[in-house]
Amino acid sequence: MSEGEKKQGSAIGALIGWGGLLLFMAGFAYLVINQIRSGEIWNGKEPEAAAVVRDSKPPEGGGLTLGDMLKGYSLKVRDLKTEAGERAYVGEFSWDARQKNGPEFEVELQWKENQTTRVALWRVNLEKEEIRPQGNEARALPKRAMDGTIGDL
């Protein structure tokens, strides 16, 4: 081939390559934008997540909310005595929630039982209003609250 001659070829390969890259970029951008938008919708909903757990009605509660059960729990325990003969104490309930992913939140309850700080944890999906206790403290808390039993007596 002489210098003056140019090689003629098809541009189909380049079009397919660049077109595929463009489609990939558009799909990726769509996914990222939807993730950001989903996070923004649920951003700042931590108080609502904590309220979902606090206002839930565990089967053991006989129609009472978990918040009401905890109030009754601290009153019932006052009549108990510790091993040292002191009046038992349950109180200082503190709720906290953290967003995990989109509508998924982690709700934590801390409270004092005599000198022990206890922590119960729930996973909450605000979109589905689904509550899942995580660990023994969260699972056992409604029954302990109704029975008025304390863990370290």
pLDDT at position 9 over 90: no
Mean pLDDT for 39-59 is 88
Within 10 angstroms of residue 109's Cβ, the number of other Cβ atoms is 23
Structural domain boundaries in the chain? 10-43, 44-147
Question: Token match 């808390």: residue?
Answer: 141
**Conformational region of residue 77, where left means phi above 0, alpha means psi within -120 to 50, and beta covers everything else:** alpha
pLDDT at position 97 over 90: yes
pLDDT at position 153 over 60: no
pLDDT at position 16 over 90: no
Mean pLDDT for 18-31 is 89
pTM for the model stands at 0.68
